[in-house]
Structure 1
Amino acid sequence: MRWVALTAVAPVAWGTNYYVTHEFLPPDTPLYGAALRALPAGLVLLGLCRQRPRGAWWWRSALLGLLNVSVFFVLVYAASQLLPTSIASTVMAVSPLAMMLIAWPLVSERPGTAHLAGAAIGLGGVCLMLLTGTEGISVPGISASAAAVLVSSFGHILTKRWNTVGTDVLASTAWQLTAGGLFLLPVAAAVEGPPPALSPSALLAFGYVTLIATALAFAAWFSGLRHLPSGTVGLIGLLNPVTGVLLGTAVAGDVLTVQQLCGLALVLFGVVLGRPARTGRRGGNRIRPRPVPDERPARESSTCSPG
């Protein structure tokens, strides 16, 4: 259960990120916003682990940084601007099913009945919490949100496949965030011009987004992907919209309706349904990704060393 609790840190932090970004960060510089979120987080983690990529991890870090950070952050921003939060969150709630289906061929994890049932129940709960029938639908917004689901699900399962036992999860997370931030920075400069001037409140908000909602959250998420089934991790991700709803109630003064409370109960039931089975006296069997052929001959090429 400790890996479940650690992994849950990520969606809870991402759920708070919606409010912080909407309230305190500049709305008209999405590329700089994504770059300033990713690059400092990657550099902080690099300073902690003091390791550099070796061998195949140079191109893996670049690819994962492009998928999990650069493209994903921009797509999420576009969906947030084009869709109501309820619609965007509901589309993103499909990600557990997407992760299960992608994990089947990539890491040989066949989705179990409990995981599929939990994903269906959790998705129903998210719809019950967030959909009121009054939201506007934007086809480009739906497309951006759906693309974000596919890109992040594929990138996360690739991370699980490559984060084998010999790879430091903290280091690989740092490499991805740094690579993604470096990809975004020149694009932001070319498209949006000089960096935006930031108020003290915006600087504090970026500090929270960088350290908690990005560095800590991604490290926790990828650690969970290494030790838990993909279906379980995907279902834990449903805590993201739950956090957003509860934060709106606590901070913005929103009132929880009976419909939302029922949806919240369904989401939590779906998460519990997909938790890993407890085995043995110590509880919880450790899930180890199947080694891939290009990692067997030379382990050094996929691990990291002090640099």
Structure 2
Amino acid sequence: MLRTILITLLGPMLWGSTYAVFTEMLPVEHPFFVGAIRALAGGLVLLAINPRIPRMATMGRYAVLGTLNMALFFALLFVAAARMPGGLAATLGAVQPLVVIALSSVLIRRLPHPVQVGAGVAGVAGVALLVLSPSEHAPDLIGVLAAIGGTCSMAVGTVLIDRWGRDGKPLEMATWQLILGGLILLPVAWAKEGLPPLPDAQALAGYGWLILLGTAFAYYVWNRGISRLGPGAAYLALASPVVATLIGTIWMGEIFSFWQWIGIALVLGAIATGVSVKRRAPVDPVPVAAN
């Protein structure tokens, strides 16, 4: 069990490095393109591991999920990463489990536990401290909106997975969400940003890290771990904002105010509390459509 937890933890830890790798090694003026390449190339690597093509009905659902969880999420993630400190962007993105809890009560009528309601309130307070606290480095409004928008997009996709049921194994789901999300985002990136400059050695190393370790390997160990540990292991995702914050403060010299540190602690504590409580069963289960 401990070995599985430690291996699973590698996924969020690698995700936490995404912000620094993007801003220091990749073309920050092409966030959509970087998101498309990350999704498509990472998905193709996973497809080589698990070369299975799902049914058309399942593929349609993967396309919807790929749009929400990969295309929109990756695009907005890199917009946020380009405009604000990585630790702040990662912490704002980490409120996604709390958004999922709120959406679940509406879309699938799964009432939250009272403790989860309290965690949600604490999480909102933490986000307010992060965004509104006086600081020499006030967060960029577009960056904040992008981080929150990406969080909400992935939260909707997560709830849809819960509503539709898991079509296939977790690795297959991750593979085709990445591939289809990348294919959807690529023409948007081309139209909006054009081609980025030819990558130099530093950019190639950044793409290699992001695609092979930060996407293919990270998603593989994450999905493998969640399938063995259960959904309660979602608290391990807290490693992502923690790593991003440590990299930002130690390596990149990012500075947060006292109240922003309080906000980060509130958000992380709220998420750890919220996802550790067992969810209630749906009040009136919604029939799952046939594949």
TM-score (norm 1): 0.74
Change (3 A) 1:202 1:140: closer
Deviations 1:112-171 (A, max 9, x none): 23334445556666777897622335544443333222111101222344453x611101
In 2, Cα distance between equivalents of 1:11 and 1:201:
23
> Which amino acid in 1 is paired with 2:98?
L
Which structure features the higher share of helix residues? 2
Greater shift after overlay, 89-98 or 253-262?
253-262
CA distance in 1 between counterparts of 2:180 and 2:103 reads: 24
In the alignment, structure 1 segments of 5+ residues that lack a partner are 279-289, 296-300, 302-307
Matches within 5 A, 1:118-267: 118-121=119-122, 133-134=134-135, 135-136=137-138, 138-164=140-166, 167-222=168-223, 227-228=230-231, 233=234, 235-252=235-252
**1:77: which partner in 2?**
78
Residues 25-61 of structure 1: per-residue CA shift (max 9 Å, x gap)? 1122222211211111100111111101213112111
Once residues 253 and 123 of structure 2 are traced to their aligned partners in structure 1, the CA distance between those partners, rounded to angstroms, is 25
In the alignment, structure 1 residue 294 sits paired with structure 2 residue 270: no
Structure 1 residues 75 and 240, CA, compared in 2 at 3 Å: closer, same or farther? same
Give identity over the alignment, percent: 33
* CA 14–131 in structure 1, closer or farther in 2 if over 3 Å, else same: farther
Q: Which residue of 1 aligns with 2:54?
A: 53
RMSD: 3.6
- Indicate whether 1:32 and 2:33 are aligned: yes
- Given that residues 66 and 176 in structure 2 are in contact (C-alpha distance below 8 angstroms), is that contact kept between their aligned partners in structure 1? yes
**Which stretch has the larger CA shift, 19-28 or 123-132?**
123-132
- The 1:4/1:131 distance shift into structure 2, 3 A limit, reads farther
On the 8 A contact 2:67/2:180 being kept in 1, the answer is yes
Aligned with 1:196: secondary structure? coil
SS of structure 2 residue aligned to 1:294: coil
2:41 maps to amino acid: P
Q: Is the 8 A contact 1:93 1:126 kept in 2?
A: no
Of stretches 55-64 and 249-258 in structure 1, the one that deviates more from structure 2 is: 249-258
Superposed CA deviations along residues 227-269 of structure 1, whole A, max 9, x for unmatched, are: 315xx73x54443322112223443466899878766765664
